[in-house]
Amino acid sequence: MSQAAAHTPASAQGQQHPLKLYLVVWAWLFILSTGSYLVDYFQLEGALRYSLIILFMLLKAGLIVAVFMHMAWERLSLVYAILVPMSAILVFVAIMVLESDHTLLSRVTFFASGH
Amino acid sequence: MVEQAFSHLDTAPVDEPRPHSITADFSSDRSVFKNVSWSKAMMWIFLLSDTFVFSCFLISYMTARMSTTVPWPNSSEVFALTIGGRSLPLILIAIMTFVLISSSGTMAMAVNWGYRHDRRKTAALMLLTALLGATFLGMQAFEWSKLIHEGVRPWTNPWGAAQFGSSFFMITGFHGTHVTFGVIFLLIIARKVWRGDFDQGRRGFFTSRKGRYEAVEIMGLYWHFVDLVWVFIFAFLYLW
């Protein structure tokens, strides 16, 4: 049964990939999640902590989007239509970082002791 | 009629090699996403908009946390659980993460078996996915009641900046709502698969259109997205 099924040709629009690929990605997601948990468990501090959190997060997100959501095999026009607008988020983050620095500065300057 | 007219457009005659496709696709004066069905393209566009919604929540959390002069509560201690006399930081969140990742794995398997037209395995894996999702929700409910019991409110908490509560309830609440709807739709699609709707070409209740096993993949896109959002919530809300 499984032998025959494994060689079923991909349907016209279906995303057909070997089962093993999903299992490998699944295992990696477990490893990376354990990694990010250990960052907190060992109470890593400073730049090491933040860079590891970001690294594990991006690797996990990349694996989920590329393999589980099949983005790696989608047509390039769809990939661009979805991924390029996301850069707007980074612009928004940059704007709000500047904004909150300014807010914090005013709070420290004018309301130093209060909330 | 309409269905036939559109399905003709859906299937592009020949798939060109990837490097040429992008300009050609957008300037073709036809459907841009060739060889991608409308339902899948629409799900992706919905997920893009949902990404913006969650980004706005996370960015507002970042803004609140960066601009407050009051110390932010230490999430490692706030979310710690005491198990067997030992205080383990973030242990419940870690288990929730593993549960959600496992559900993503079973969903990917369901999509795979769906395209092999094995309706029993597909439905079973989708039910398992829904079960893991429900488990996640149960643990989230436990976490919420624990925090509420400890005095966390959207406007105050015992440990520091008041915005902690509002960010926490807003972000995890919205994510939990997504998981809830995911579980509901998983059950609906699993029922269709189990009944053999996609094998017999049975028409949908609302759409009156014949479903395909692609519905499982589109359901999977939503479910993986919920997992994806959790990856970012885990990093920024719990670990940072």
Q: What is the mean pLDDT of chain A?
A: 85
Domains identified in chain B, total number: 2
Give how far Cα B146 sits from Cα of A30, A35, B149, B238, Å: 26, 26, 5, 16
User: Do B26 and B44 lie in a common domain?
Assistant: no
Name the token pair of B8.
Answer: 């003709």
Name the token pair of A107.
Answer: 């709070």
User: Do B157 and B206 lie in a common domain?
Assistant: yes
User: Do B11 and B95 lie in a common domain?
Assistant: no
Q: Chain B contact for A104, CB < 8 A?
A: yes
User: Do B148 and B160 lie in a common domain?
Assistant: yes
User: Do B11 and B114 lie in a common domain?
Assistant: no
User: Do B108 and B207 lie in a common domain?
Assistant: yes
Distance (Å, rounded) from C-alpha B207 to C-alpha B125?
25
CATH number at residue B90: 1.20.120.80
User: Do B227 and B128 lie in a common domain?
Assistant: yes
Query: Band of the pLDDT at A97, cuts 50, 70, 90?
Result: very high
Q: Which residues in chain B land under pLDDT 50? A: 1, 8, 10, 12
Residue B52 Cα, gap to closest chain A Cα (Å): 7
Residues 6+ apart with CB under 8 A from B64: B161, B163, B166, B167
B149 φ/ψ angles, rounded to the nearest 5 degrees: -60, -35
Greater confidence (A101 vs B199) lies with A101
B82-102: pLDDT as tens digits: 887 788 888 899 999 999 999
User: Do B134 and B172 lie in a common domain?
Assistant: yes
Q: Any idea where the domains of chain A sit in the sequence?
A: 1-74, 75-115
A23-64: pLDDT as tens digits: 999 999 999 999 999 998 888 888 999 999 999 999 999 999
Give how far Cα B49 sits from Cα of B39, B55, B72, Å: 15, 10, 30
pLDDT at residue number B103: 96
Question: B233: closest CA among B49, B108, B96?
Answer: B96
Would you say B193 and B143 are in contact if contact means Cβ atoms under 8 Å apart? Answer: no
For chain A positions 4-63, those within 8 Å of chain B (CB to CB) are: 5, 8, 10-17, 19, 22-23, 25-26, 29-30, 33, 36-37, 39-41, 43, 50, 53-54, 56-57, 60-61
**Residue numbers in B near A50 (CB within 8 A):** 240
Give how far Cα B103 sits from Cα of A21, A32, B149, B182, Å: 16, 16, 29, 11
User: Do B14 and B59 lie in a common domain?
Assistant: no
Cβ atoms within 10 A of the Cβ of B5, count? Answer: 8
Helix (H, G, I), strand (E, B) or coil at A78: helix
The whole domain housing B215 covers: 39-239
User: Do B129 and B171 lie in a common domain?
Assistant: yes
For the full predicted model, state whether its pTM sits above 0.90. Answer: no
Query: Band of the pLDDT at A6, cuts 50, 70, 90?
Result: very low
User: Do B3 and B44 lie in a common domain?
Assistant: no
